[in-house]
Structure 1
């Protein structure tokens, strides 16, 4: 092996004599299981990336299977020369460990002075993320392993601070959204702050009538100040303390924030618990303090007024019948009891109400009891978890031999998970023909909104990177032309295609191509894996997944996975795209995402059948959900 490498170096010496005349291979390590070969060599100076690439290309002529890693050591290492000649390679090694670093390191300015490497970034978000991911330490370790020199890595802000404006705009945008949401909640709950005219209708239950205009709870800052607030009571706790006195802790919200009201009531004073009830509106004037017991900011009131708040009513002539309702028996969904719902329905003049908890029927006895009490007809039902056991692995398949078809393997990055609310920010795709990549497509896309911080962190795609990119209206028609009549392939295709179909519908672009999902295909062909994430399947097939969560890199990895899955299809004597859906019967129920289906009971026979259905789903078909 060493002799073959030496031959390659002699071939290159004629063109690069100056840098290769001192080249000497010191050691070669081969790792058969990892399909990896590490070549350690010595030279007087660091070889440039161009020369290293030439050596790597020549080594490929040896028909080596797997990856080749070149480790270069020098006689008198110079950090300046090392960084200058190896920054791209060094950066790639960082990306392999922390893919999110790519977006910022690619745009960073490097300065080296006295064994100090200073990276100047164009935004503060980048510094925060690189420090959080401990990138300086990773770079220090790579440099030390290569040169034996321990350097210090500093992260500084560049003189160009254009991106700071985007950073600030994002948080202003976020605050504006929160403000809009609060105002909407205030309207829905009839909780807009009342003016002085409303005060005439208030009842004094402690102290005197309050004439001051209320302050939002969210705007309360500083201890010891006197404030006036008003809000809705959502919790009351009464505790007996020494001398039979009572401590009353009232939880109050005005939907901008919440706060505790703490009242000490003497034994012989009028009881406030008879006057202050849940869901009532209070206007309170008092002093702001910090409570060491509750570890919260509280108000000690001097005056309390009960506001004559009008409860929400249903003034419609034709009353609705609620057919989809979750009680507190629905885990993580409902918070109110059947009693509260049925009482409210009676107050609003409704005649009937359906109880449809997630996969359970425990609320039925209480619902029946209070239905009788308030003369409300109870419609018994359930929101069931339903799986499609005829799910297609490939949709709208062509009747064509697998090896003869052209495939476009795609991946997208988005601002979130919802195809309705969120936007595409990157499209990457490779075109596959005869088992080889014959074309590529890649484009960053400027969204209408702002890329959230967590998405920047996950993908490395920043607002600055997409600032001058084309919008989706320009990119999608071009991408549809690239696809042509090929079969589309994606990993978890329902996610990617959900965004693409929505965009095509908005732009009136036809797209009826076959769509193959490598996620479901891998679930039928490689059942032994603990999960079928892109990273897990890549590791199973020894496929390099560089820069995970970047579209073009994920698309390339998916194309290599597709080739391996096609080999397994041929082992099962499946050679035509139209035959792939025969495998859907091998998809395990736990691998299929459940849909929600509403089931309502018509009569006593239906109620009995519903009980049987619920029992069977819990006893025989339970996997995370019944």
Structure 2
């Protein structure tokens, strides 16, 4: 949720009269629903005042301007009024508030999801588990929540309150109809049989159908049969004297929350739901209206044997790429357990290829001898290309006599196939000095995406009267002439230029120099070699970052410094530029590639 005036710029607001602007101050954008298929947009607003047809028409006009490909824009307005205005606002804002908190402080999710709130005048009391209050206060969650509502125009004082142990869960926070229907269903199913503490049938009837994998099934509501292992069991007493059990169920293809309601004598069944127990469940999938996550409400619950996975294919595979717990932050499996499973499945051998380490070899050797299976020792190695040229086939010419053209482009995206160039900036260097500049906007065939507008500051209005690429590129290629094409991450810039030149039948076979590759070698001590990092290191003023004309100028100054550094070590001819590798002090900043290495002895 956000105030609508915050998404309009000054020019947009000029459409509204002073009186209308005063009304817009208290208008909140609740949400926007998009239908890509129908190219339809539904905007939902909250307002203290009645929005006239004229105001709604102007809002529609602004949105349609920025989203010209949208076929239909519908605006729905809900009026906030009366004594429960604050209550309604908090209710509507709560989901968006939680998303904001989880994005900014992900660790607060565990406590905020189990919280409940109560609004008393201008004080928002949030009730939490005692263990979470100190953490949330330490991360200034109160201030974040208060600022969230200030931005919506409704300042509130936020106070964290401790939940008491005697506090019972309010049944109204759940779907009352669901709870009542489940209790009735369970009561009906158990009327003919007494509760048997040893029966594999815990609730309801014996389930005859086959379960489906959890990972592929939790995509919508409806009845379903699942099988999995219990974890994270929790219990709550509801105000209607019903016990609510919640736990996770996993079959290791996915996990889902399960919620069971027990009343009367069936409360004695709660002890049967223990972590690690494997269950078969038939029930209904519902979407929790607070967490917006799917959960299963069971009708029937049976104890089920855990199915052991086996390889039933007559032609057994040979695993040639496998990481173990010895690969840092990459795997959890034990080499011994892997060998046991491979033997049980009838596999003849298995290869171990941990990331850059050999520490698993002693365990593999010992376990393979005991289990009776052949291991293949291996490694996923890191390969560094320390001979990749900075320039391919550099000409035999003194650097001071070479014309370098430093280029930067801005595009509508990163895709070579679909995106377009919207700005070209270039700086020409000769004899280590800047001698000329080139810049030009280009009008694309499609509107500039919002994320690119935010990144570059180039709007559709900026390029509205700009010439097309068919006019700008020939002028740029004339400026480039036979100079060396220079760019930071040159593959990107040269790739777009090459594509457009090919389409227009223009030759582009200039030598290419990448300042990113060169800076990785010369400034090997830097942690990264982004344009802004190098500019800061070399005290270069950048201008507007992500604008082609300014980034080209920044890269030109970086190139001047790079040429000066390589000249100091005796490289004065461009044909020698690849000798710069002799300056490197290690491989930390070179591109790395992965290579799987498997070893064999003299008998194979």
TM-score relative to the length of structure 2: 0.52
Query: Given that residues 395 and 574 in structure 2 are in contact (C-alpha distance below 8 angstroms), is that contact kept between their aligned partners in structure 1?
Result: yes
> Offset at 1:548?
0.7
For the residue of structure 2 that corresponds to 1:321, the secondary structure is: coil
The residue that corresponds to 1:147 in the other structure is none
Alignment partner, residue 597 of structure 1:
595
Q: Is the 8 A contact 1:287 1:299 kept in 2?
A: yes
Distance, in Å, in 2 between the alignment partners of 1:403 and 1:157 is 58
Is 2:534 the partner of 1:537? yes
Map 1:489-568 onto structure 2 (within 5 A). Answer: 489-493=486-490, 496=493, 513-525=510-522, 532-568=529-565
- Corresponding residue number in structure 2 for 1:68: none
- Of 59, 62, 77 in structure 2, the residue corresponding to residue 160 of structure 1 is 62
Report the more deviating stretch, 400-409 or 304-313: 304-313
Shift in CA distance, 110/523, structure 1 to aligned 2, threshold 3 Å: farther
Matched, 1:334 2:331: yes
Which position in structure 1 is the counterpart of 2:257?
A: 259
CA distance in 2, matches of 1:467, 1:376: 70
**1:321 corresponds to 2:223:** no
Structure 1: distance between partners of 2:357 and 2:602: 18
Structure 2 distance, partners of 1:470, 1:347, is 69
Question: Are 1:233 and 2:228 counterparts?
Answer: yes
Q: Does 1:389 align with 2:354?
A: no
Question: Kindly tell me: are residues 490 and 384 of structure 1, through their superposed partners in 2, closer, same or farther at Cα, counting changes over 3 Å?
Answer: same
Q: Is the 8 Å Cα contact of residues 234 and 251 (structure 1) preserved in structure 2?
A: yes
Per-residue CA deviations over 1:192-245 (Å, capped at 9, x if unaligned) read xxxxxxxxxxx966422569999964545xxxxxx634446366357999xxx9
Q: Which moved more, 1:514-523 or 1:502-511?
A: 502-511
Residue matched to 2:298: 301
Residues of 2 paired with 1:318 and 1:473: CA distance? 59
Q: Following the alignment from structure 2 to structure 1, what is the Cα–Cα distance between the partners of residues 63 and 496?
A: 33
The C-alpha deviation readout for 1:415-474, integer Å capped at 9, x for no partner, is 777x79995655634152533354536565869999584x55434456898899999999
* Conserved? CA contact 2:524–2:584, under 8 Å: no
1:285 to 269, 283, 286: 283
Deviates more, 1:358-367 or 1:477-486: 477-486
CA contact (8 A) 2:323 2:354 kept: yes
**What secondary structure does 2:357 align onto?**
coil
Q: How does 1:354-503 map to 2 (within 5 A)?
A: 354-368=351-365, 371=368, 375-413=372-410, 426=422, 428-430=424-426, 432-434=428-430, 435-438=433-436, 440=438, 442=440, 451=449, 453=451, 457-460=454-457, 485-493=482-490, 496=493
Cα deviation 1:477-513 (Å, max 9, x = unaligned): 9977875543221224356557778999999998654
- Residue in 2 that maps onto 1:182: none
Does structure 2 retain, via aligned residues, the 8 Å contact 1:396–1:515? no
* 1:290 Cα offset (Å): 7.7
In structure 1, the gaps of 5 or more residues are 1-102, 129-155, 170-202, 221-226, 607-626
User: Does residue 1:588 correspond to 2:603, yes or no?
Assistant: no
CA offset at residue 525 of structure 1?
A: 4.6
Indicate the SS of the match to 2:563: helix
CA contact (8 A) 1:291 1:297 kept: no
Contact 1:395 1:515 (C-alpha < 8 Å) held by counterparts: yes
Superposition RMSD in Å: 6.0
Q: Tell me if structure 2 keeps the 8 A contact 1:328–1:336.
A: yes
Match of 1:208 in 2: 205
The structure-2 alpha-carbon separation of the partners of 1:410 and 1:259, relative to structure 1 and needing over 3 Å to count, comes to: farther
In 2: Cα distance, 1:258 partner to 1:468 partner:
54
C-alpha offsets along residues 146-179 of structure 1, whole Å, 9 cap, x if unaligned?
xxxxxxxxxx96833235547989xxxxxxxxxx
1:449 & 1:381 partners in 2: Cα distance? 51
